[in-house]
Amino acid sequence: MTDATRNASSPQGCSPKDRVLIFDTTLRDGEQCPGATMTFEEKLEVADVLDAMGVDIIEAGFPIASDGDFEAVSAIARRIKRATVAGLARAISADIARAGEAVRHAAKPRIHTFVSTSPIHLEHQMRKSEEEVLEIITKTVAQARNLVEDVEWSAMDATRTPIDYLCRTVEAAIKAGATTINLPDTVGYAVPDEYRAMFRQIRERVPNADKAIFSVHCHNDLGLAVANSLAGIEGGARQIECTINGIGERAGNAALEEVVMALRVRGDVLPYDTGIDASLLTRASKAVSTACSFPVQYNKAIVGRNAFAHESGIHQDGMLKNQTTYEIMTPESVGVSKTSLVMGKHSGRAAFRSKLKEMGYDLGDNQLEDAFTRFKALADRKKHVYDEDIEALVDENLASAHDRVRLVSLTVIAGTRGPQRATMKLDVDGRFVTEEAEGNGPIDAVFNAIKAIVPHEAVLELYDVHAVTEGTDAQAEVTVRLSHEGSSVTGRGADPDTLVSSAKAYLVALNKLIAKGVRLHAQAAAE
């Protein structure tokens, strides 16, 4: 641990852990993510959330990039009282002057200047020799240090830089006054062992290494940004550069929420503290996603909408018995109100029973088994099973417990070439009866088939259909009202197939009439 990080050690009473500084670059590298540009106001909002969450350094932008960026960095510098506010600058005098001007009103200003160090970059981008770049480092870091006390220097493409030359650049930067040395994996090329070893070697070999805090900055081109960041910390770095939701150039940067929670949850093997209030992580994720109009992938660790959602029966059963069976952190710890047990085709009885209880149903074992069978059948056909879907099927189930006429099967031929034809099989008092009927439209054909099997005088007073939930696979809920000899009854049926729900609704109403004493005439031959 360097002197600088020791100053920021753990709160009193906690076991002493090394403090890792969180440098958030959502507003700079994050904004470099294609399509993630934020307006001035959006940047201020994000900066406020970051500050409230306790990030140590907010990299507010790249002031030379545009007047808009300069204005945003200046406004954030004026506004933020707790965190350090940094502005990025190339190793160019005008950039450094502009960054210095932008952050000068910050309570804690930082200039972050960078230059390439790898042979590929020196030859093809900078078109400079190693010696020329060493001179540039000395000159530009000194210029920045004349403007502010807190200067960060980054070796762009450090992980593709030969270690001997990297040592020389780091030594030069510290000598010129850099207080933080960032060794970025600019192109997401490193693997954890290599990145950890790089920090160990640099800290051992550079004579003045203990005068600076070392920093990691990892890109996610191989999906290793978080793993590399943690490895860099094990190698002696004490600052992590990261972004909310992992947004950033190309495949993005290490996600702030992931590094913070990895350090917290695995404190046993990663004994480091951050100053982040993790309960604000979800809020920060939403704020950034909204500001950038950049959706968070559903299965994103920590802040994705599925991060605390369980659909499979075995997991749901475990969760109902004890949350630690399938969750390594509580949803509340990252600002999510609760775990969700999502009802779907992989759910089991334990979760179904619990869901029904939550919805206010108290079913006996047989009723529950019946409803569960119907739920599984529905889930096989429907992508999302919502509470309303479950409610519809349970209500229908309860209503049909004493029915004398039940739907067994239905086939309808419909389309532009009428007449429409329905073939229906009903269970009437335990006997199967099949009839075929035509109609003026498929629903008329369905109702005529019912009348053919169970002739009755009742009049259809109302037919209404609406979607219970969203999407083309939504359950259609049909309401049918029948009246007979002064009494009228209503039936409801739900099914993703409107014709089936129509038949069910009609039969519910008909069964109610039968229960009221209307006589049945099952005419068709029993099978």
Ligand X SMILES: CC(C)C(=O)C(=O)O
Ligand Y SMILES: CC(=O)SCCNC(=O)CCNC(=O)[C@H](O)C(C)(C)COP(=O)(O)OP(=O)(O)OC[C@H]1O[C@@H](n2cnc3c(N)ncnc32)[C@H](O)[C@@H]1OP(=O)(O)O
* Angle at alpha carbon of residue 458, lines to 453 and 461, rounded to 5°: 120
Residue choice 23, 70, 114, 375 for contact with ligand Y (CB under 6 A):
114
Rounded least distance, CB 118 to ligand X, Å: 10
Spatial distance between the Cα atoms of 511 and 505, rounded to a whole number of angstroms: 10
168 binds ligand Y (CB under 6 A): no
Residue choice 26, 140, 182, 220 for contact with ligand X (CB under 6 A):
182
- CB-nearer residue toward ligand X: 148 or 514: 148
60 binds ligand Y (CB under 6 A): no
Query: Of ligand Y, ligand X, none, which one sits near residue 413, judging by CB under 5 to 8 A according to partner kind?
Result: none
3-state secondary structure of 154: strand
26 binds ligand Y (CB under 6 A): no
- Can you say whether the dihedral through the CA atoms of 95, 96, 101, 105 is positive or negative? positive
74-103 residues in contact with ligand Y (CB under 6 A) are: 90-92
Residue choice 62, 199, 375, 447 for contact with ligand Y (CB under 6 A):
62
Residue among 524, 401, 405 at smallest CA distance from 453: 524
- CB-nearer residue toward ligand Y: 89 or 478: 89
Spatial distance between the Cα atoms of 101 and 61, rounded to a whole number of angstroms: 13
Query: Of ligand Y, ligand X, none, which one sits near residue 52, judging by CB under 5 to 8 A according to partner kind?
Result: none
Residue choice 182, 186, 253, 420 for contact with ligand Y (CB under 6 A):
186
94-123 residues in contact with ligand X (CB under 6 A) are: 114
184 binds ligand X (CB under 6 A): yes
Spatial distance between the Cα atoms of 468 and 481, rounded to a whole number of angstroms: 19
Task: State the residue for tokens 């904004």.
Answer: 31
| Interface size with ligand X, residues (CB under 6 A) | 9
36 binds ligand Y (CB under 6 A): no
CB 504 within 8 A of CB 493: yes
Rounded least distance, CB 184 to ligand X, Å: 3
Spatial distance between the Cα atoms of 448 and 276, rounded to a whole number of angstroms: 68
- CB-nearer residue toward ligand Y: 232 or 344: 232
115 binds ligand Y (CB under 6 A): yes
Query: Of ligand X, ligand Y, none, which one sits near residue 335, judging by CB under 5 to 8 A according to partner kind?
Result: none
Residue choice 24, 29, 42, 69 for contact with ligand X (CB under 6 A):
29
Rounded least distance, CB 87 to ligand Y, Å: 12
- DSSP states along 425-486: EEEETTEEEEEEEEESSHHHHHHHHHHHHS----EEEEEEEEESSSSTTPPEEEEEEEEETT
Spatial distance between the Cα atoms of 77 and 101, rounded to a whole number of angstroms: 10
At 404, list the tokens.
Answer: 């004398």
249 binds ligand Y (CB under 6 A): yes
Task: State the residue for tokens 């009221």.
Answer: 516
Spatial distance between the Cα atoms of 507 and 499, rounded to a whole number of angstroms: 12
At 234, list the tokens.
Answer: 């094990």
Binding site for ligand Y (CB under 6 A): 29, 32, 62, 64-65, 90-92, 114-115, 125-126, 156, 186, 249
Contact residues toward ligand X (CB under 6 A) are 29, 114, 154, 156, 182, 184, 186, 217, 219
**Residues placed in the known binding site for Mn(2+):** 29, 217, 219, 253
